[in-house]
């Protein structure tokens, strides 16, 4: 089996390494030629100079030839797919392993199906640890397409028989990954709030590195997120150099939008996202307004920024 990986960033590059360790031939392309050359040298990847070159290096049909996109969601994935489709033949398969919105994946799957090209959406969890631990893969596809990709999934997963699954039709892979990330937001926020309360309780002068390490063993909250937190706090628990600003990517927002569209309550996942927005808001206009109102009705002092006059 031969597969082309398009996009050799943090995720795509490590996935190529993992596939090569399993002896799977991979053609690789990235906009950055140095990355391509490096992976060719290091992992025995077949270097491509363009997407067209990558497809040609998969050899001629008979199909299926597989092109795996590992690109930022939105325009980069959309544009690449538009360029790629005319280069493929009936029976070939495109995999989107990025964090695309499941509605885009459903639309793209239908669009490729009209051209008799298969599509699989793969929700991929594991981050930078996936190279060694394996990736958790939730894939949406027809049974035939999923079957074709099975050797690749078995190589990328933590073990051939676990950590990957064909969870439903096209779209179901990215939808379940979206919910996975929504849950991740909630779990992270719960851990962060609890540790913040412990930090605030000055009379007990807790060593948060000790406590989080302790909880890793037989406690109810033991989890991979706790493991990472405990490791991080070992070096520094003041976090003075970490700005209190939490970015968010698409999946947390889409989870909340989906909760609204389904009319199913998900208040904690929603609030975990909203707290990230609050952290991103440097202007604090709503807080300024509240201060204004308190002053207006109760004469409460307004704390000044010292700016303006």
Please list every residue from 121 through 160 that binds a second copy, using CB under 8 A: 125-127, 129-130, 133-136, 138, 140, 157-159
Contacts to a second copy from residues 289-308, by CB under 8 A:
none
Q: Cβ(246)–Cβ(280) under 8 Å?
A: yes
Question: Within 13 Å of residue 34, how many CA atoms lie on the same side as its CB?
Answer: 0
Q: How many CB atoms lie within 10 A of CB 195?
A: 18
Using the rule CB under 8 A, give the single segment among 7-15, 39-47, 81-89, 256-264 that binds a second copy. Answer: 256-264
Site string for a second copy, 92-111 (x = CB under 8 A): --------------------
184 is a catalytic site residue: yes
Contacts to a second copy from residues 269-288, by CB under 8 A:
269, 271-272, 275
Q: Are strands 2-6 and 118-125 parallel, antiparallel or unpaired?
A: unpaired
Angle between helix axes 172-200 and 224-235 (nearest 10 degrees) is: 40
Catalytic residue among 25, 78, 150, 184: 184
Cβ closest to a second copy, residue 129 vs residue 245: 129
Catalytic residue among 177, 251, 307, 309: 177
Among 34, 217, 283, 303, binds a second copy (CB under 8 A): 217
Tokens of residue 167, six digits: 């969870």
Q: Cβ(146)–Cβ(169) under 8 Å?
A: no
177 is a catalytic site residue: yes
* Residue 162 in contact with a second copy, rule: CB under 8 A: yes
Among 28, 98, 186, 252, binds a second copy (CB under 8 A): 186
Quote the CA–CA distance of 134 and 48 in Å, as a whole number. Answer: 25
For residue 3, which phi and psi values (nearest 5 degrees)? -135, 145
Question: Minimum distance between the CB of residue 270 and a second copy, rounded to whole angstroms?
Answer: 9
């Amino acid at each position: 089996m031969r597969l082309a990986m398009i996009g050799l960033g943090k995720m795509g590059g490590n996935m190529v390494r993992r596939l090569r360790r399993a002896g799977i031939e991979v053609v690789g392309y990235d906009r950055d030629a140095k990355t391509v050359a490096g992976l060719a040298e290091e992992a025995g990847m077949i270097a491509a100079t363009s997407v067209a070159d990558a497809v040609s290096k998969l050899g001629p049909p008979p199909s299926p030839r597989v092109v795996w996109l590992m690109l930022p969601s939105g325009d980069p994935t959309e544009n690449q797919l538009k360029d790629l489709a005319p280069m493929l033949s009936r029976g070939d398969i495109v995999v989107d392993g990025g964090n695309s919105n499941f509605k885009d994946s459903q639309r793209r799957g239908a669009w490729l199906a009209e051209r008799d090209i298969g599509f699989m959406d793969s929700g991929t969890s594991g981050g930078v640890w996936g190279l060694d631990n394996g990736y958790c893969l939730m894939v949406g596809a027809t049974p035939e397409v999923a079957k074709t990709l099975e050797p690749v999934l078995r190589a990328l997963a933590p073990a051939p028989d676990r950590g990957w699954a064909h969870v439903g039709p096209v779209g179901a892979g990215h939808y379940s990954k979206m919910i996975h990330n929504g849950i991740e937001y909630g779990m992270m926020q719960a851990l962060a709030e609890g540790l913040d309360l412990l930090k605030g309780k000055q009379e007990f002068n807790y060593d948060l590195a000790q406590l989080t390490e302790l909880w890793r063993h037989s406690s109810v909250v033991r989890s991979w997120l706790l493991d990472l937190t405990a490791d991080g706090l070992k070096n520094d628990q003041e976090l003075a150099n970490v700005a209190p600003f939490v970015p968010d990517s698409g999946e947390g927002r889409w989870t909340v939008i989906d909760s609204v569209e389904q009319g199913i309550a998900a208040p904690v996942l929603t609030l975990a996202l909203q707290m990230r927005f609050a952290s991103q808001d440097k202007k604090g206009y709503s807080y300024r307004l509240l201060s204004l109102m308190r002053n207006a009705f109760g004469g409460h002092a307004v704390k000044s920024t010292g700016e303006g006059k």
